[in-house]
């Protein structure tokens, strides 16, 4: 059994539950613009790669031997948004959903929940 060194969010991937820790600041710096594009609702090949890359970067902190291909195999269309939300939540960033009946304003980026 792998020892979880960095606390985070338990996430039920198909066949196993892993703890998604916060992204390291260096990883967040590299991925933030791409993550913001995904959070704004973009869905294309780059968005899928961003979800895989962000989830992989976070999981590597607790599972250093996990390969990007393994993370890609754990993600699918049903869980990719929830996985990215877990990465963001573990990192202290919250996803802002529009209130029903209101239009969605353009994203200005992820919001910090840390004070």
Q: Locate the domains of the chain by residue range.
A: 12-94
pLDDT average, residue stretch 104-114: 53
Q: Cα separation of 100 and 75, whole Å?
A: 28
Residues comprising the chain, all counted:
115
Would you say residue 54 has pLDDT above 70?
Answer: yes
Q: Cα separation of 31 and 28, whole Å?
A: 5
Would you say residue 51 has pLDDT above 60?
Answer: yes
Contacts of 36 (CB under 8 A, 6+ apart): 107, 109, 110
- Kindly indicate the confidence band of residue 91, based on its pLDDT and cuts at 50, 70 and 90: confident
Q: Give the pLDDT of residue 93.
A: 72
Question: Which value, in Å, is the radius of gyration of the alpha carbons in the chain?
Answer: 14
Tell me the pTM.
Answer: 0.79
Q: Give the pLDDT of residue 94.
A: 66
Q: Give the pLDDT of residue 115.
A: 47
């Amino acid at each position: 059994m792998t020892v979880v060194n960095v606390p985070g969010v338990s996430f039920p991937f198909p066949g196993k539950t892993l703890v998604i820790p916060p992204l390291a600041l260096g990883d967040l710096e590299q991925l933030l613009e791409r993550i913001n594009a995904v959070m704004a609702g973009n869905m294309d090949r780059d968005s899928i790669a961003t979800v895989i890359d962000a989830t992989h970067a976070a999981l590597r902190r607790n599972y250093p031997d996990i390969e990007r291909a393994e993370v890609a195999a754990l993600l699918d269309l049903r869980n990719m948004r929830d996985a990215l939300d877990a990465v963001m939540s573990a990192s202290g960033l919250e996803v802002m959903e529009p209130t029903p009946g209101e239009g969605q304003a353009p994203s200005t980026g992820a919001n910090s929940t840390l004070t």
